[in-house]
A and B are shown apart, each in its own frame.
Chain A
Amino acid sequence: MKHPEAAAGFVADSAKSSWHDQALWGVRTKRDAAVSAIPEWEELREQGARIKAWSLAHLDDLLVQFEAQCQQNGIVVHWAADGPEHNRIVHGILAKHRVKKLVKSKSMLTEECGLNEHLEAQGMEVIDTDLGERIVQLRHEPPSHIVLPAIHLQKEEIAETFHKTMGTPADMTDETELTRAARKDLRERFLQAEAGVTGVNFAVADKGIVVVCTNEGNADLGAGLPRLHIACMGIEKIIPKFDHLSVFTRLLARSATGQPITVYTSHFHKPKPGGEMHVVIVDNGRSALLGRKDFRRSLGCIRCGACMNTCPIYRRSGGHSYMATVPGPIGSTLAPSKDPKTHDSLPFASTLCGSCTDVCPVKIDLHQQLLAWRGELVKMGYGDRKKIRSMKLAGKVLSSPTLYKLAGIGARIALRGPRFVLPSEAKKWLTNRDLPPVPAESFRARYRRHQK
Chain B
Amino acid sequence: MRVGLFIPCYVDQFFPSAGMATVELLENHGCDVAFPEAQTCCGQPMANAGCSGDAAAAARHFVDTFSGYDYVVSPSGSCVAMVKHQYPKIVGNAASSVVSKTYEICEFLLDVVKVTQLQASCSKLVAIQMACHGTRELRLATGSERPALPTFSKPRQLLEMVDGMQLVELQRPDECCGFGGLFSIDEVDVSCAMGDDKLSDFQQARAELVVSTDMSCLMHLGGLSSRQDRGLKFAHIAEVLNGDWA
- A residues neighboring B (CB under 8 Å): 3-4, 7-8, 11-12, 14, 17-18, 21, 25, 32, 35-36, 38-42, 310, 312-313, 316-317, 347-355, 357-359, 371, 373-378, 383-384, 387-388, 391-392, 394-401, 404, 408, 411-412, 425, 428-429, 431-436, 438-439, 441-447, 450
In this assembly, does B175 line the interface, its C-beta being within 8 Å of a C-beta of chain A?
Answer: yes
Chain B residues closer than 8 Å to A433, beta-carbon distance: 192, 195, 220, 223-224, 226-227
Q: Of B117-125, B154-162, B181-189, which stretch is located at the interface?
A: B181-189
Contact B146 A378 (CB under 8 A): no
A317 touches B13 (CB 8 A): no
Task: Tell me which residues across on chain B come within 8 A of A374, comparing CB atoms.
Answer: 48-50
Of A11, A18, A354, A378, which one neighbours B51 at CB under 8 angstroms? A378
> How close is B232's CB to chain A, nearest CB, in angstroms?
13
Those 6 A-B pairs whose CB atoms lie nearest each other, nearest first:
A351-B180, A395-B54, A433-B223, A374-B50, A354-B136, A358-B145
With A39-B148, A395-B57, A446-B20 already in contact, the answer to whether A408 and B12 are too (CB < 8 A) is yes
Residue in A355, A384, A388, A399 whose Cβ sees the most chain B Cβ within 10 Å: A399
| Chain B residues, Cβ within 8 Å of A32 | 144-145, 147
- Contact between chains at A355 and B54 (CB < 8 Å): no
- Is B193 among interface residues, defined by CB-CB distance under 8 A? yes
- A444 and B192 form a contact (CB under 8 A): no
Could you give, for residues 95-132 of chain B, a 1 whenever the CB lies within 8 Å of some chain A CB and a 0 otherwise? 00000000000000000000000000000000000001
Q: Which of B50, B144, B146, B184 is in CB contact (< 8 Å) with A42?
A: B146
> Which residues of chain A come closer than 8 Å to B15, judged between CB atoms?
436, 439, 443
In the bound complex, how far is the Cα of B230 from the Cα of A433, in angstroms? 12
Please, which residues of chain A bring their CB within 8 A of the CB of B48? 352, 371, 374
Known: A312-B178, A433-B192, A444-B35. 18 other contacts (CB 8 A): A4-B190, A11-B190, A17-B193, A310-B145, A348-B187, A353-B180, A375-B50, A375-B52, A391-B49, A395-B51, A395-B54, A408-B13, A429-B223, A434-B222, A435-B223, A436-B222, A447-B35, A450-B20
Confirm or deny: B40 has a beta carbon within 8 angstroms of a beta carbon on chain A.
yes
Minimum CB–CB distance for A416 against chain B, Å: 12
B187 CB contact (under 8 Å) in A7, A18, A25? A7
Knowing A354-B133, A387-B182, the reply to whether A394 touches B46 (Cβ < 8 A) is: yes
Contact assessment for A401 and B38 in the assembled complex, using a CB-CB cutoff below 8 Å: yes
Among A4, A388, A392, A443, the residue within 8 A (CB) of B7 is A443
Can you name 21 A-B pairs with beta carbons within 8 Å? Answer: A3-B187, A7-B190, A310-B145, A312-B194, A352-B180, A355-B136, A355-B143, A359-B145, A374-B50, A383-B50, A384-B186, A394-B54, A396-B54, A429-B185, A429-B188, A432-B227, A433-B226, A436-B14, A443-B11, A443-B15, A446-B19
**Are B58 and A36 within 8 A (Cβ)?**
no
Within the complex, the shortest CB–CB distance from B233 to chain A, in Å, comes to 12
* B224 near A351: Cβ-Cβ < 8 Å: no
Q: Are A412 and B13 in contact (CB under 8 A)?
A: yes
**A317 partner residues in chain B, CB cutoff 8 A:** 190
Which residues of chain B are near A446, meaning CB under 8 Å?
16, 19-20
**Shortest distance in angstroms between A257's beta carbon and chain B's nearest beta carbon?**
16
A398 touches B58 (CB 8 A): yes
| Chain B residues engaging chain A, CB cutoff 8 angstroms | 7, 9, 11-17, 19-20, 23, 35, 37-41, 43, 45-55, 57-58, 60-61, 86, 132-133, 135-137, 143-149, 172, 175-176, 178-195, 197, 219-220, 222-224, 226-227
Within the complex, what minimum Cβ distance (angstroms) separates A310 from chain B?
7
Q: A352-B48, A354-B136, A436-B223 are in contact. Are A428 and B176 (CB under 8 A)?
A: no
On whether A4 and B148 interact (CB within 8 A), knowing A316-B193, A394-B54, A444-B37, the answer reads no
In Å, the complex CA distance between A23 and B178 comes to 19
Complex Cα distance, B178 from A11, in Å, reads 13
Which chain B residue shows the least CB distance to A347?
A: B50
Taking the nearest CB of chain A, how far is it from the CB of B245, in angstroms?
Answer: 17
For A40, the closest partner residue in chain B by CB is B148
A401 touches B51 (CB 8 A): no
Which residues of the other chain, A, contact B193 by a CB distance below 8 angstroms? 11, 14, 17-18, 316
CB distance from A412 to the nearest CB of B (A): 6
Known: A395-B46, A442-B16. A432 touches B57 (CB 8 A): no
Question: Please, how many angstroms separate the alpha-carbon atoms of A404 and B58 in the complex?
Answer: 11
**With A432-B224, A439-B14 as given contacts, are A352 and B187 in contact (CB-CB < 8 Å)?**
no
Give complex CA distance A415, B183 in Å: 21
- Nearest B residue (CB) for A383: B50
B19 and A354 contact, CB distance less than 8 A: no
Contact B183 A404 (CB under 8 A): no
By a CB distance below 8 angstroms, the chain A residues around B189 are: 4, 7-8, 11-12
Chain B residues lying within 8 Å of A3, measured Cβ to Cβ, are 187
CB contacts (< 8 Å) of B226 on chain A: these are 433-434
- Contact present for B43 and A398 (CB under 8 Å): yes
* B184 partner residues in chain A, CB cutoff 8 A: 429
Q: Is the CB of B187 within 8 A of A4?
A: yes
Chain A residues with CB below 8 A from B187, complex form: 3-4, 7, 313, 348-349
Are B20 and A443 in contact, with the CB atoms below 8 A? Answer: yes
Query: What residues on A are CB-neighbors of B7 within 8 Å?
Result: 443
Residues on the B chain within 8 Å of A450, using CB:
20, 23
Instruction: Report the bound CA distance from A399 to B16 in whole Å.
Output: 22
In the complex, how many angstroms separate the beta carbon of B173 from the nearest chain A beta carbon?
12
Q: Which residues of chain B have C-beta atoms less than 8 A from A400's C-beta?
A: 40, 61
B188 adjacent to A428 (CB under 8 Å)? yes
Contact indicator A395/B58 (Cβ below 8 Å): yes
Let me know if B148 and A391 touch, CB within 8 A. Answer: no
> B88 to nearest A CB, angstroms?
12
